[in-house]
Amino acid sequence: MSGKYVATSGITIAAPADRVWAVLTDPAAIKEFMFGTDVETDWSIGGSISWRGEWEGKEYADRGRILEFDPGNRLVMTHFSPLSGQEDKPENYHTLTWTLEDEGVGTKLTLSQDNNASAEEAEHSKGMWDQLVASVKEIAERG
């Protein structure tokens, strides 16, 4: 995958950044906002992260590494899915970047995914991430 296209989704959440961060890093909340996935990680920089579950009737075991972990501000990880049909090598991984910004009345959450092979692939990813960040908002706002 030689992808130069980035999928970006953002939303403003009526909750402080520490609450949004808690949602992003809590396995039970992740299962809820990330389409039923079970996550395993210790959140250490350089540490592994894995997501397991079922997507559109197919079981998956995705994986990656934690690149940045700045509580309340920024979380960056790599992501590879064998369901992509691609070889498990670095150039086939995406980088997922979660950024939280204080907006005074809440928190702006932005999620970007790099390394999309085409504008169409980036748009497809954006649609999925739009649903996901809306779910994060719903969970964070219900307290």
Instruction: Count how many domains the chain has.
Output: 1
Closest CA to 66 of 38, 42, 100: 42
Distance CA 76, CA 67 (A): 5
pLDDT at residue 2, as a whole number: 52
In whole angstroms, give the CA distance from residue 72 to residue 25.
Answer: 10
| pLDDT at residue 1, as a whole number | 43
CATH, residue 84: 3.30.530.20
**pLDDT mean by block of 10 residues, the chain; 143 residues:** 82 97 97 94 98 89 97 97 89 96 95 94 93 97 89
| Cα–Cα distance for residue pair 1/87, rounded to 1 Å | 10
Q: Which domain holds residue 130?
A: 5-142
Please tell me the pTM assigned to this model. Answer: 0.91
